């Protein structure tokens, strides 16, 4: 009996040491993940801010030998291309996620889930090549529409997977309560389950939007680039990621400065989009709760 009393504090000390070791390793891992991110953001903000100006947001680029000019056409082009991808991707992605969650307990549903997981890890350049072969070659020219389709290919699987997981998190008793009141399965999914999961669905949409907004490779094969205002979605257009790439590899120092400014604009746009979406959803949640 006395030996057990003597051994118990030792076992407790060993457990506490293991606990502290694991907590320390977690803190180190967190630091390794956060420090590079903070460093990149600091560089983008510190360098990019000094090169922002009203001219950058309102004018077209000047020839490289003159300097100056802006990226207004690229900002419009990025908004249009990403908007096309989101408009095409949300119905398909959310619909696919609903099917996999509510009706996908069969070989087709499992196959769809597997394909979405594969496509979610698809190299972005592959999506660009596919859109190039299907649309650019068919139309005979680069276009903003082709760029939107390429980004939609990357957008859909992320939204589908997050939608499925969000719907599966809803307690089963909510489904059963709706069905017990005589509501059919499809209206239950659309009017009860989907609204309850909308916060997580919206998060998935924002994550997918943030990813495609910064893609460069697909747009090099589809939307290409331009020094002028976009004349239509069936015409080539400049985008911020492609401009960052083109300006960063150029030999002109003032173009490098504009590439930093463009990177800051892109990061800020993604951040503001996420904040706005979460704010709107929080207000909707309070409204539904009667607050």
Of 31, 49, 67, the last residue of a domain is 49
Same domain, 36 and 145: no
Average pLDDT, the chain: 87
- Which tokens hold the place of 37? 């991110």
Candidates 90, 207, 91, 84; CA nearest to 135 is: 84
Q: What's the confidence (pLDDT) of residue 116?
A: 92
Candidates 76, 89, 288; CA nearest to 206 is: 89
Residue 153 pLDDT exceeds 60: yes
Q: What's the confidence (pLDDT) of residue 1?
A: 46
Q: What's the confidence (pLDDT) of residue 94?
A: 94
Are residues 170 and 263 in contact, defined by beta-carbon separation less than 8 angstroms? no
Instruction: Tell me how far CA of residue 265 lies from CA of 79, 102, 219, in angstroms.
Output: 12, 40, 18
Same domain, 33 and 102: no
Are residues 59 and 125 in contact, defined by beta-carbon separation less than 8 angstroms? no
Q: What's the confidence (pLDDT) of residue 288?
A: 55
Are residues 87 and 74 in contact, defined by beta-carbon separation less than 8 angstroms? no
- Which tokens hold the place of 202? 């919206």
Same domain, 112 and 147: yes
Confidence of residue 281 (pLDDT cuts 50, 70, 90): low
Instruction: Tell me how far CA of residue 247 lies from CA of 106, 250, 254, 259, in angstroms.
Output: 50, 5, 9, 6
CA distance 284 to 274: 15
Instruction: Tell me how far CA of residue 199 lies from CA of 86, 111, 164, 195, in angstroms.
Output: 17, 26, 13, 8
Same domain, 42 and 77: no
Same domain, 96 and 179: yes
Same domain, 142 and 269: yes
Instruction: Tell me how far CA of residue 52 lies from CA of 161, 259, 265, in angstroms.
Output: 38, 10, 9
Residue 2 pLDDT exceeds 70: no
Same domain, 249 and 110: yes
Residue 5 pLDDT exceeds 80: no
CA distance 173 to 165: 17
Same domain, 62 and 151: yes
Same domain, 75 and 208: yes
Of 49, 65, 84, the last residue of a domain is 49
Q: What's the confidence (pLDDT) of residue 269?
A: 86
Candidates 241, 12, 251, 278; CA nearest to 125 is: 241
CATH number where 184 lies: 1.10.3720.10
Same domain, 172 and 242: yes
pLDDT in tens, 58-106: 999 988 878 778 999 999 999 999 999 999 999 999 999 999 988 888 8
Same domain, 45 and 61: no
- The count of structural domains within the chain is 2
Owning domain of residue 238: 56-288
Instruction: Encode 150-177: b = buried (16+ Cβ within 10 Å), e = exposed.
Output: bbbbbbbbbbbbbbbbbbeebeeeebee
Report the phi/psi class of residue 238: left, alpha or beta, with left for phi > 0 and alpha for psi in -120 to 50: beta
CA distance 156 to 108: 17
Are residues 213 and 269 in contact, defined by beta-carbon separation less than 8 angstroms? yes
Same domain, 24 and 85: no
Are residues 43 and 205 in contact, defined by beta-carbon separation less than 8 angstroms? no
Distance of CA 161 to the CA centre of its chain: 13
Helix 72-98 with 198-213: angle, nearest 10 deg: 140
Candidates 177, 168, 175, 129; CA nearest to 150 is: 129
> How many other β-carbons are positioned within 10 Å of the β-carbon of residue 40?
12
């Amino acid at each position: 009996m006395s030996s057990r009393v003597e051994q118990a504090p030792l076992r407790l000390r060993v457990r506490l040491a293991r606990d502290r070791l694991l907590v320390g390793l977690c803190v180190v891992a967190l630091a390794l993940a956060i420090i590079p991110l903070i460093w990149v953001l600091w560089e983008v903000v510190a360098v990019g801010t000094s090169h922002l100006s009203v001219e950058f947001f309102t004018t077209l680029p000047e020839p490289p030998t003159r300097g100056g000019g802006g990226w207004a056409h690229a900002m419009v082009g990025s908004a249009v291309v990403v908007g096309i991808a989101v408009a095409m991707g949300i119905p398909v992605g959310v619909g696919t996620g609903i099917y996999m969650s509510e009706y996908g307990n069969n070989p087709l549903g499992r196959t769809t889930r597997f394909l979405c997981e594969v496509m979610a890890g698809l190299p972005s350049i592959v999506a660009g090549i596919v859109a190039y072969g299907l649309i650019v070659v068919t139309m005979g020219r680069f276009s903003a529409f082709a760029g939107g389709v390429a980004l939609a290919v990357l957008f859909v699987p992320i939204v589908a997977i997050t939608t499925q997981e969000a719907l599966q998190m809803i307690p089963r008793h909510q489904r059963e309560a709706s069905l017990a009141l005589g509501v059919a399965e499809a209206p239950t999914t659309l009017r009860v389950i989907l609204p309850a999961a909308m916060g997580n669905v919206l998060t998935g949409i924002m994550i997918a939007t943030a990813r495609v907004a910064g893609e460069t490779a697909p747009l090099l094969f589809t939307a290409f680039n331009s020094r002028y205002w976009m004349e239509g979605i069936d015409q080539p257009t400049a985008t911020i990621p492609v401009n960052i790439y083109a300006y960063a590899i150029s030999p002109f120092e003032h173009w490098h400065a504009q590439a930093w400014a463009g990177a800051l604009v892109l990061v800020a746009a993604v951040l503001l989009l996420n904040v706005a979406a979460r704010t709107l959803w929080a207000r909707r949640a309070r409204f539904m709760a009667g607050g």
